[in-house]
Amino acid sequence: MAGDIGWLNSLPPDRAEQELLTCCASRQWAQKVAASRPYPDAGSATAAAVAGVCELSWPDVEEALSAHPRIGDRAKAELSEREAAWSRGEQSGAAGADLAVRTELAAGNLAYEERFGHVFLIRATGRSAEEMLTELRKRLANSELDERIKVQSELADITRLRVRKLLGDK
């Protein structure tokens, strides 16, 4: 059954947290979402997951960011096979870009990291490399506060998609 939540509800807390960490790499977030079980359905779990991301402190957001590769880069070696596969699929729009766009993305990633001190995070699913590059350029002009708000929103979007994948709710 699509969106079956029973398997996640039945896991011991530490196992549930490990499963959830593949969706968002904040330990605080995974603990909170796991502790809020049981969920009546996948939609409730997804809503709780998104709300949990929106409630994270900035250090917890930074912890989650540490699991995300730069746009156009391969997933980090320490990620699970599931996370690496999700990352490749999410970034497929960047993978097929021409050399000039990939070069500009690489330079933009470095400029962004120098400006904000963390990886440029964007929900890459469904976006072309050109769209991501445009958004990166636009966000380089953000204030630090505005960018933190945007990053947390993007993290919530990514987490929503990943929790739905985890639960088989396409």
- State how far the Cα of 127 lies from the Cα of 120, in Å rounded to an integer: 15
Distance CA 140, CA 127 (A): 18
Is residue 73 predicted with pLDDT exceeding 50?
Answer: yes
Q: How many CB atoms lie within 10 A of CB 86?
A: 21
Using CB atoms within 10 A of its CB, is residue 165 exposed (0-12), middle (13-18) or buried (19+)? middle
What's the pLDDT at 1?
35
pLDDT 10s digits, 133-167: 999 999 999 999 999 999 999 999 999 999 999 99
Q: What pTM was computed for the model?
A: 0.89
Question: What does the pLDDT look like over 24-71, one tens digit per residue?
Answer: 999 999 999 999 999 999 999 999 999 999 999 999 999 999 988 888
**CATH fold of the domain at 5-167:** UraD-like (1.10.3330)
Closest CA to 73 of 115, 129, 157, 146: 129
**Whole-number Å distance between alpha carbons of 130 and 162:** 23
Please check whether residue 82 is in contact with residue 33, taking contact to mean a CB–CB distance below 8 angstroms.
Answer: no
42-54 vs 144-166: helix axis angle to the nearest 10?
Answer: 160
